Each structure stands twice: as structure tokens, then as C-alpha cells.
Amino acid sequence: MKRIPLVVTLGLVAAAGYSAGAWAQAKEQFVPVNSYWVGPYAAGGSGIAGAMIDYFKLLNARDGGINGVKVTWEKCETEYRNDRGVECYERSKKKGPTGATLIHPLSTGITYSLIDKGTADKIPIVSIGYGRTDAADGRVFPYVFPMITTYWSQNTAKIKFIGAREGGMDKLKGKKIVNLYHDSAYGKETIPVLDAQAKIYGFQVTHIAVPHPGNEQQAQWLQVRQIKPDWVILRGWGVMNPTALKAAAKVGFPRTKIMGVWWSGAEEDVIPAGDAAKGYIAAGFNAPGSNFPVLKEIQKYVYAKGQGELEDKSRIGTIYYNRGVLWGILTTEAVRTAQGRFGKGQPMTGEQVRWGLENLNIDEKRLKELGAVGFMQPLKLSCADHEGGGQVKFQQWDGRQWKVISDWVPSDQKLVRPMIEASAAQYAKEKGITPRDCSKEK
């Protein structure tokens, strides 16, 4: 047999190796997991990010990825800081064969910092349950997706729920509501919509700010006691939540009349408050509990093999964990939708994933296939509507666990959508953006 020169052999091996590597690499969909595992908000960051990774692991182990494309990820610690969030974004945006699929900033502040960058780089900035509300107008914000339910939508659903508890929306006239908010951009986000609703329904709203981080609220709750409101809306984050519940107990305000937003409604918000949290009600866009098929699959394919992301398995089924699974579902379903148009079994670019997000349609049938009926609401996005769902479930803490106490309560889109469009139009004017004509989008 003729001998093949060593150099040629090495060259062939290297080429084959490169080609195999390139092929393997090409069959990967890279998702940056920028979150926070240390610091004041680590409980939320670690739970959500861990669950999202668990869902990716489930897809890889059970289905071989998304139509054969393995999901890959890399964790980056943002510490919930804007500068770190931007650094993580820059570090991860070009990784993987097609760059970052999309970015979950996991912070309203970081979301604001990334709007221009994501738009320029054609990478979707997905803020599920937080972020800039008027970015729901996809004509002005083509690469920003405040999905499932925005803060404004949530707020209108809360007033609907309070109205129902009071015996009808007409019964809200003359009622007093205190909006106890975290003194930050996040906290102030719902003031305009609450004021608008107060005018429509005739209730009196008082906004009381709690300075960051909210670990001292005596003065605020004495003010609440003096006002004697019918309801208190708690728009807190982190330590502000248990402190508020404790302070409410101190002034004798009933916890059954405190309505928290979904960033005030996790186990981590109530357990530190102990008995003071009993009866407290909070909004949610995902259900609590571990009895959903998708979670059982994660237990079976991931945790049973010792590959779970969280050390404490008891966190499966908690609010933050389930929220992270929901993020995983939306992320991978957007990729799957994009593959349907741009090439099944191929990794998608950020631009293609944006199309996938705008054409995402998760109906009851698909929810059943995903093992997530009742776990999350059906949603359908479009070029103009980057929100998609707009519904809220309410839950009550019984001292041990969250109990769901309502069905999906729709938001008041007749009120919210015009406000979103007006605010987005103002933004477009300030930035010199010409809104997209969605009728021309394919």
C-alpha cells in the first residue's frame, strides 16, 4: 500500500476534526443566561435562571434539543446591576454558531440599557413580566418583547379583581386604595395607569414611596393607618415585601386587603414575614405547584439523573422556579416557530428568532403538548403586539403555600393599549424612529 505522507494525514485529520466540530457547533442554539446568583435578589435570579436551564436540559435529554438542535447556554452574573448586565450582553452576543438567540436581562434597569443595543445588533430583548411597558408596541420597538403581561395590564387586572371582591366595579366609587411602591423606575411604572383607573372608577388612590431597599417602613405604614384605605397595592421587590407585611401587622392592617404585584408574590417574599403574611394576596402570570406534567418530566429526565441545576430540589414548584420554566418554554418555542419558517433543525439567528417571537402562538392544544395547561396562559404575539397574553391569576398565601384563588383575569386592553401606543409614539418622536408598517411584515 502506498504510504500517505504524515503531513497530509495530519492535514486530513485536522480537516475532518474541524468539519465535525463545525457541524457539531452548527447544530447548537446558544442562549445566554444572564442572571444573579449573589446579592439581594439572588433568590429570584437563581430560581428563575436555574429553572430555565433545567428546561433546556429536559429538551436536550428527552427530545435531543429543538428539532435536533441542542440548546447551549452560558451563565453570566449581573448582580442585578445595569453595568454588569450590559457587560454580560456584550460578552455573550456573538457566542454560539449564530450568536445570542435572545437576551433575558432579568432586570427592568438592564432592559432599558439594552433596548438600543439589542435593536442595533438584531438580538431580541425579552422581558417577561417586567421591563418597559410601552415596548409592547412592536411597531416602535421591533426587538423588545415585554411578553405575556405588562405591568400596566397587570394593574388593570388587579383593579378588576379588587372590584370583584368589593361586589362589582361600580362599588369601587369612593373606595380608598394606597399604592405602596418601591421608589425606583420599576416602582413608579404603574402610577399613570392607576391614576387613569381612579378617574374611571371613582376611587381615591394615594401613592406612597418606600426608599430602596425598603427594610424600614414604619413611617409609611403609619401613613397607611391614618389614611385607612380599603386596599393596599404592594409594589415591592426583595426585602421590601416581607418588611411591608410585618409592618402591616404592626399597625393592624389586614393582610387579606393587601394585593401584591407578581414581584411581591413568591415564597421568598412571604416566608421571612412568618405569620404576618397569612392571607396576603398576590398577582401572578404563572401558577405555583409541582403537579404539572412539564415539571414531572424535568424531575424524571434531569433531577433523577443528578443533573438538576438547583441544589435544593424543594424549590421545584415554587413561584420563581415555575416562572423560569415558563421562560424556558417561551424561549424554545420562539426558536421552534422560527425554525418552521427558516429551516427545521437549523440554529436560528437573533433576527430569525424575532420573527419566531412575533409569530408565536401557544394555544391550549400546544400547552397540552408542552405539559403546561394551567401552568401558564395561552398567548399569541404579532408584529404590533409584543405582549401577547395580558391575563393574570391571583393567589393567596395560607401560611404554608400559595393557593390559586382565581381563574385567568383578563386585563383592560381598552385602557392599556391606547396608553401604550401613545407612550411608544412619544418615544418614537423623541428618538426619530419611524414605526414599522405591520401590514408589510411577512
**Residues at the site binding another protein, with contacts judged by CB under 8 A:** 37-40, 42-43, 46, 183, 207-213, 215-216, 218-220, 222-223, 225-226, 238-239, 242-243, 246, 249-252, 268, 271-274, 276, 311-312
Q: Are 395 and 265 in contact (CB under 8 A)?
A: yes
* Nearest-approach distance from CB 222 to another protein, in angstroms: 6
Q: Which residue lies nearer to another protein by CB, 148 or 178?
A: 178
> How far, rounded to the nearest angstrom, does the alpha carbon of residue 142 sit from its chain's CA centroid?
18
Q: Distance between CA atoms of 301 and 6, rounded to whole angstroms?
A: 45
Among 340, 320, 441, 400, smallest CA distance to 44 is for: 320
Q: Which residue lies nearer to another protein by CB, 247 or 287?
A: 247
* Nearest-approach distance from CB 274 to another protein, in angstroms: 5
Q: Which residue lies nearer to another protein by CB, 271 or 433?
A: 271
* Nearest-approach distance from CB 341 to another protein, in angstroms: 41
Residue 252: CB atoms within 10 A of its CB come to: 8
**At 62, is the secondary structure helix, strand, or coil?**
helix
Q: Cβ contacts of residue 339 below 8 Å, gap of 6+?
A: 66, 67, 69, 345, 346, 348, 356
* Nearest-approach distance from CB 41 to another protein, in angstroms: 8
Among 88, 89, 69, smallest CA distance to 143 is for: 89
Q: Which residue lies nearer to another protein by CB, 87 or 183?
A: 183
* Nearest-approach distance from CB 145 to another protein, in angstroms: 28
Q: Distance between CA atoms of 158 and 65, rounded to whole angstroms?
A: 38
CA distance readout (Å), 10 to 2, 13, 23, 25, 103: 16, 5, 20, 22, 40
Write the single-letter amino acid at 197.
Q
Q: Which residue lies nearer to another protein by CB, 43 or 326?
A: 43
Residues β-bridged to residue 46: none
* Nearest-approach distance from CB 233 to another protein, in angstroms: 15
Q: Which residue lies nearer to another protein by CB, 51 or 102?
A: 51
Among 427, 392, 395, smallest CA distance to 412 is for: 392
Among 166, 165, 197, smallest CA distance to 179 is for: 197
Q: Which residue lies nearer to another protein by CB, 215 or 361?
A: 215
* Nearest-approach distance from CB 43 to another protein, in angstroms: 5
Q: Which residue lies nearer to another protein by CB, 201 or 263?
A: 263
Q: Are 258 and 278 in contact (CB under 8 A)?
A: no
* Nearest-approach distance from CB 52 to another protein, in angstroms: 17
